[in-house]
Each structure stands twice: as structure tokens, then as C-alpha cells.
């Protein structure tokens, strides 16, 4: 028991000794702006969890002045009120608020854009590991009316549907007449992610006739009541609608299942972020980021319908479409619900992978799997020479191996499967980045 306590202290040092955070005499302690996906429920719930962790009493979430704005309040033991404001008007507004100094922390359901990175350079490098924090994984669900018989669509069809080129259900082999489109508004990270993953890659704008919503809940409910409707939504907001399986390139059809989203294999999976400016750091913002990454914070992530970054082992059913050697691994081992991915054009682990490394090590230690109980399986994108693709995929696995070895892990095997088993189309950078991945299997 003592060893476990020491390990947890090392992993989450902030919460080993929970020093009270300062409370200013006036104004909110922390201002969060950005993503509706995060700010509607998850953000306030995480703030409430932090406040309770800090020992505040009578913590409650209440509406603030504007639509989609909330305030979380609590009282110190001396009776002083502490308040934190959460405004959820879309990911872009979070970065604009950082620039205007009207927010201390940006919530975003997409990565920061290069233009925003340059614009906010005076605040420090927002792509640094401390500044860019992946707090959860979400899946963009494509939803239909529950009575719609279609079960799968590919990303090419999605682009044509939401562009208006495919305008009837009959053109997709279904029934029902004209297709009614539902989408989030232009400030939404949900829509921005769909635009980046589906529309922009194919040079297609959203059809002008699409009905737009600021509220995820209202959009989902509208689709579930419209037999001709199709919409795009964050995973927690499927509600009464029906989610369809998605195919990207040569990938298998994938439903937005927790395990496929956790590994980011699902074609429309995405990361949810907090961006914490390195300069003038607000202590409450830093505390919220650290709390969110802790086991308590990730439990709140899961309770709000998103995919927590908690490592689990899952059985994978061998399929005939898998390489024989991969089938052999699947028969004898279980796959961890994490994929290591890399910075664009680099062999360096990305910011999420750096976080996941410690989570994987913690899992291996707690399950006594440090000594030859782990196989790393690397994949990549298509190259002119299949042997080169296989070599590069193995080199990626070896890059992960180096980091695991530093933490006392002795590997059982390292395999490279090249461009086999793609999870995304290789026709764009985003797909190639997703295909360059390393899986972790435990025996």
C-alpha cells in the first residue's frame, strides 16, 4: 500500500499536498472561454470538482449573464465566495479571448491553428507540452433519425451529403426523399472539426440550406424528430438519435465505440484541449489543468460522456482481413486503449503521447507487466516501397520503446506492419498522421 501511495504522489504531485489557491478580492478567480462541446457541461463539472478538491463548500453551477455562459461558485471556510466563469461560444472564441486578455484558459475541441499560434505568440508557445493539454477524446457522431435504415456511410459520401451534391436518401440506397441537413454554427469546434476532417479535404463548403445550431442538444433533438434528417454532433449528444458507422479510405466501418475513439482509430475521433498560456499563468488555470489530468478529473470526463484517458486492456477479435502475424498477437494478448502518435513530420512523440506514456507505465507497473509482457506494434502510411513503410513503422515502435525502457519496461517484441490496416485515408496529411501510430499489446 505504501508503494502505491508513493507512486501516486509522484504521478500527481500537485494533489499530494493540496495547498489552498489564492482568491482575489474582486472578480472571478478564473475565466474560461471556448468550445461549446467542453463548456456546456464538462468544463463546469471539472471546475466544480476542482473546487471541491480544494475544500470549498456549497459549490454550485448556475447560469451567468449570457446564453451558454455559466458560473461556478463555492465558499471558503472563512465564508469568502470564489467564482469561476465558463463561456461556451465555440473554440475560436477561446483563442480570441486569450488575445484580448478576457480569458485565462481556452477550451477547444480542435487543435490550435497555425494562424492562431502566430497571433498568440506574445503569450508564449501554446504548442509546448505544458500549454497544450489534451483533456479527453471525443467522437464526432453522424446521426440519423432512429427509423432511418442506413447503417454506414463513408467520408466521401458525407462530404457530398453535407455539400448538397447528394440531396436525396434514394441516392444512398435508402428512402425518404430530400435530405435535411443539421450542423453546428461557425464558432463551433464540432463543426470546425467536421469541416477539417471531411469538407475541406475535398474542397467542399457546407450547403447553404443546412440548419445551424449553437446548442448541441437542440441539434440532436431536431434530427431525432426529423425522419429525413442527418446531423453531426459530439459523442455525448447522440441522445435519442441513431449513430451510423463511418468508413475512411480503406478502413473498416467503425461505429463511434468507446474503445475505437480512445485509440483514435475511429475516423471522426478528435481530441479536446485546454490551452494554458505560458506567460502570466493563472494559478487556478494551472490547478484546473492538473486536476483534469488526474484520475479524479478523468473520472469526471467519463461521467460526462466523453472518453477518459484511462488505460485499459481490451480483447480484439482476430479477423481474416488482418495480417496473420497480427492475428497471432490478437489471439495471445490484449490491446491497451491508447495509441502513440507523433508530431507532424517528426519521430518525436506528440503532446498527448507524452502524457499517455506515464499512464501506460503506471498501468504496466500496477499489473506487474514490466518484464517482457509488452509488444509494440507500429503502423505507417503508404510509401512507394512497402519494405520502407515496414521499416519506418518499426522505427516508430522503437521510438516508443526507448521511452518505455527509460521507465524500467523490458519489451517482449517490436513489430512493424507498414501501411497495412489503415484507420484513415492516406490522401491527406491528417489521415497519414493518424495512420502513423504505435499500438501497445500486453500478455
Dump pLDDT digits (tens) for 377-411: 999 988 888 898 899 999 999 999 999 999 999 99
Same domain, 161 and 106: no
Q: Residue 20 falls within a domain, yes or no?
A: yes
Predicted pLDDT of residue 280: 76
Same domain, 277 and 173: no
Same domain, 24 and 96: yes
Q: Residue 347 falls within a domain, yes or no?
A: yes
Does 5 score more than 80 pLDDT? no
Rounded Cα gap, residues 131 and 54, in angstroms: 22
- CATH code at position 168: 3.40.190.10
Does 57 score more than 50 pLDDT? yes
Predicted pLDDT of residue 18: 57
Same domain, 414 and 371: yes
Q: Residue 166 falls within a domain, yes or no?
A: yes
Q: Residue 108 falls within a domain, yes or no?
A: yes
17: nearest Cα among 276, 282, 290, 278: 290
Confidence of residue 427 (pLDDT cuts 50, 70, 90): confident
Predicted pLDDT of residue 343: 87
Answer yes or no: pTM beyond 0.75: yes
- CATH code at position 429: 3.30.1330.60
Q: Residue 267 falls within a domain, yes or no?
A: no
Same domain, 347 and 435: yes
Same domain, 67 and 122: yes
198-222 mean pLDDT: 94
Same domain, 173 and 26: no
Same domain, 321 and 388: yes
Please tell me whether residue 413 adopts helix, strand or coil conformation. Answer: strand
Same domain, 88 and 43: yes
Confidence of residue 294 (pLDDT cuts 50, 70, 90): very high
Predicted pLDDT of residue 2: 38
179-184 mean pLDDT: 97
Q: Residue 253 falls within a domain, yes or no?
A: yes
| Residue 394 belongs to domain spanning | 311-442
| Residues β-bridged to residue 232 | 142
Q: Residue 1 falls within a domain, yes or no?
A: no
Buried b (16+ CB within 10 A) or exposed e, 196-223: bbbbebeebebeeebeebbbbeebbbbb
Same domain, 184 and 66: no
Let me know if 13 is exposed, middle or buried by CB neighbors in 10 A (0-12, 13-18, 19+): exposed
Same domain, 277 and 196: no
Predicted pLDDT of residue 368: 97
Cell 523490458 locates to 410
Q: Residue 2 falls within a domain, yes or no?
A: no
Rounded Cα gap, residues 44 and 117, in angstroms: 26
Same domain, 321 and 437: yes
Domains in the chain, number: 3
Long-range contacts of 298-303 (CB under 8 A, 24+ apart): 298/136, 300/42, 300/45, 300/46, 300/49, 301/42, 301/46, 301/135, 301/136, 303/45
Amino acid at each position: 500500500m505504501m508503494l502505491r501511495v508513493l507512486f501516486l504522489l509522484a504521478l500527481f504531485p500537485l494533489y499530494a499536498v493540496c495547498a489552498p489557491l489564492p482568491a482575489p478580492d474582486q472578480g472571478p478567480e478564473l475565466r474560461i472561454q471556448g468550445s461549446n462541446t467542453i463548456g456546456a457541461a464538462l468544463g463546469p463539472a471539472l471546475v466544480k470538482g476542482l473546487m471541491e478538491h480544494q475544500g470549498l463548500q456549497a459549490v454550485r453551477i448556475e447560469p451567468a449573464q449570457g446564453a451558454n455562459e455559466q458560473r461556478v461558485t463555492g465558499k471558503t471556510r472563512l465564508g469568502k465566495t470564489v467564482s469561476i466563469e465558463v463561456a461556451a461560444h465555440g473554440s475560436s472564441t477561446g483563442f480570441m479571448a486569450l488575445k484580448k486578455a478576457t480569458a485565462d484558459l481556452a477550451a477547444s475541441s480542435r487543435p490550435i491553428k497555425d494562424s492562431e499560434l502566430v497571433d498568440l505568440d506574445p503569450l508564449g508557445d501554446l504548442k509546448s507540452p505544458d500549454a497544450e493539454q489534451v483533456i479527453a477524446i471525443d467522437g464526432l457522431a453522424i446521426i440519423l433519425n432512429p427509423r432511418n435504415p442506413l447503417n454506414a456511410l463513408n467520408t466521401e459520401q458525407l462530404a457530398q451529403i453535407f455539400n448538397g451534391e447528394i440531396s436525396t436518401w434514394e441516392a444512398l440506397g435508402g428512402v425518404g426523399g430530400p435530405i435535411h441537413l443539421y450542423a453546428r454554427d461557425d464558432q463551433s469546434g464540432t463543426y470546425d472539426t467536421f469541416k477539417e476532417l471531411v469538407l475541406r479535404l475535398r474542397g467542399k463548403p457546407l450547403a447553404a440550406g443546412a440548419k445551424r445550431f449553437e446548442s448541441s442538444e437542440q441539434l440532436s433533438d431536431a434530427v431525432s424528430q426529423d425522419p429525413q434528417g442527418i446531423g453531426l454532433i459530439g459523442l455525448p449528444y447522440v441522445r435519442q438519435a441513431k449513430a451510423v458507422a463511418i468508413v475512411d479510405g480503406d478502413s473498416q466501418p467503425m461505429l463511434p465505440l468507446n474503445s475505437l475513439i480512445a485509440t483514435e482509430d475511429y475516423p471522426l475521433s478528435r481530441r479536446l484541449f485546454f490551452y494554458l498560456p505560458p506567460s502570466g499563468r493563472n494559478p487556478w488555470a494551472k490547478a484546473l489543468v492538473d486536476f483534469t489530468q488526474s484520475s479524479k478529473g478523468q473520472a469526471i470526463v467519463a461521467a460526462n460522456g466523453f472518453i477518459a484517458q484511462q488505460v485499459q486492456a481490451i480483447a480484439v477479435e482476430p479477423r481474416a482481413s488482418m495480417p496473420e502475424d497480427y492475428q497471432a498477437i490478437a489471439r495471445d494478448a490484449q490491446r491497451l486503449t491508447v495509441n502513440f502518435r507523433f508530431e507532424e513530420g517528426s519521430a518525436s512523440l506528440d503532446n498527448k503521447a507524452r502524457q499517455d506514456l506515464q499512464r501506460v507505465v503506471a498501468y504496466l507497473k500496477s499489473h506487474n507487466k514490466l518484464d517482457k509482457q509488452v509488444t509494440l506494434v507500429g503502423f505507417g502510411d503508404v510509401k512507394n516501397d512497402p519494405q520502407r513503410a515496414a521499416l519506418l513503422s518499426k522505427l516508430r515502435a522503437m521510438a516508443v520503446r526507448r521511452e518505455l525502457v527509460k521507465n524500467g519496461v523490458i519489451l517482449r517484441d517490436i513489430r512493424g506492419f507498414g501501411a497495412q490496416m489503415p484507420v484513415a485515408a492516406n490522401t491527406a496529411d491528417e489521415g497519414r498522421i493518424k495512420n502513423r501510430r504505435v499500438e501497445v499489446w500486453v500478455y
